[in-house]
Amino acid sequence: MIKRIANISETKAIIDKYGFSFQKRFGQNFLIDSNIIDKIIQGADLTKEDVVLEIGPGIGSLTQAMAEASKKVIAVEIDKKLIPVLEDTLSDYDNVRIINEDILKLDIMKLISEEGADHIKVVANLPYYITTPIIMNLLEKRLPISSITVMIQREVAERMDAVPGTKAYGALSLATTYYAQTELVTMVKPDCFIPKPNVGSAVIKLTRRNTPSVSVIDEATLFKIIKGGFAQRRKTLINSLTNSQPQFEKQQVIHALEVLNLDIRIRGEALNLNQYAELTNLLIKDQR
Ligand code: SAM
């Protein structure tokens, strides 16, 4: 095994060698705790058959360990200053491909086809400023991704994993549940990174469902209704849906709630995904 760089002394030595300065705008907080790296790899269930997409390899601390645990790692890094560093720190591995790109602009499907893989796993310590767009983009595009195991802000991880009746439950919990099964792998303290982020972190695993967990006539309407349902948490669902887009008639919403055996004073935060799906289908049918 090649010397691990996920510790404070190796990381500082690499940073000094390249005169690298951290870019806040790229959400750069590098992992310096190899136990956390091992937990991420175990959580992702990596095997020598797996092709892994890593978003934001930084100086390659997680990449290195993943190259040892998988068949191939495709590491996409936006910061061009990190490319020579990665070429150096990962020079001993012949199964790592480094791409200097913005993950939000990259054609991931093309990348997967180029690698000849039927599916890939995504594993990353994500840049926190774009956690939700990255994850939703990966889920919504219906790419052949079997799982996404990522370090994100603890609060976002809790929202993704939340169930009705909890404070963290919201539109993000429902969007995640629609596409994937969630599992919190581990909580991570700020001192596992350099520089220390000013929020707590968590590793979450999203295992993609073969088909969404509920069936709706129109997915876009489902998500608009969910968004409307949580826009003002203190309002009743009737109030929310008669004042959001698409706008429904009060009578339509009352009728749908009655069919679903739900109290007409119910708030959006009390419904689960099944109930949102049934409500969506009833409201769409009623408008036809
Ligand atoms: N994986 C490294 C580690 O664990 O030490 C670095 C993680 S750091 C939290 C996030 C990384 O994502 C940084 O290297 C940053 O430059 C990169 N990054 C930020 N925005 C990106 C984007 N849009 N596309 C690709 N990489 C990005």
Which residue puts its alpha carbon closest to atom 10 of ligand 1?
Answer: 127
Ligand 1 lined by 79 (C-beta under 6 Å):
yes
261 annotated as a binding-site residue:
no
Which atom in ligand 1 lies closest to the alpha carbon of residue 76?
A: 25
Q: Span 36-41, mean pLDDT?
A: 98
Does the model's ipTM exceed the 0.95 cut? yes
Architecture of domain 219-287: Orthogonal Bundle (1.10)
Question: Considering the chain, what percentage of its residues have pLDDT values greater than 90?
Answer: 93
- Express each pLDDT in 171-206 by its tens digit: 999 999 999 999 999 999 999 999 999 999 999 999
Which atom in ligand 1 lies closest to the alpha carbon of residue 128?
A: 9
The pLDDT, as a whole number, for residue 1 is 62
The residue ranges of every structural domain in the chain are 8-208, 219-287
Structure tokens at 195: 């520089």
**40 confidence band (pLDDT: 50, 70, 90):** very high
**42 confidence band (pLDDT: 50, 70, 90):** very high
Architecture of domain 8-208: 3-Layer(aba) Sandwich (3.40)
Ligand 1 lined by 58 (C-beta under 6 Å):
yes
Ligand 1 lined by 27 (C-beta under 6 Å):
yes
Q: What's the CA-to-centroid distance between 6 and ligand 1, angstroms?
A: 15
Which atom in ligand 1 lies closest to the alpha carbon of residue 102?
A: 24
Which residue puts its alpha carbon closest to atom 22 of ligand 1?
Answer: 102
Ligand 1 lined by 31 (C-beta under 6 Å):
yes
The pLDDT, as a whole number, for residue 288 is 67
Ligand 1 lined by 78 (C-beta under 6 Å):
yes
pTM over 0.80? The answer is: yes
Ligand 1 lined by 104 (C-beta under 6 Å):
yes
Ligand 1 lined by 87 (C-beta under 6 Å):
no
- Express each pLDDT in 221-267 by its tens digit: 999 999 999 988 889 999 999 998 888 999 999 999 999 999 999 99
Q: What's the CA-to-centroid distance between 220 and ligand 1, angstroms?
A: 30
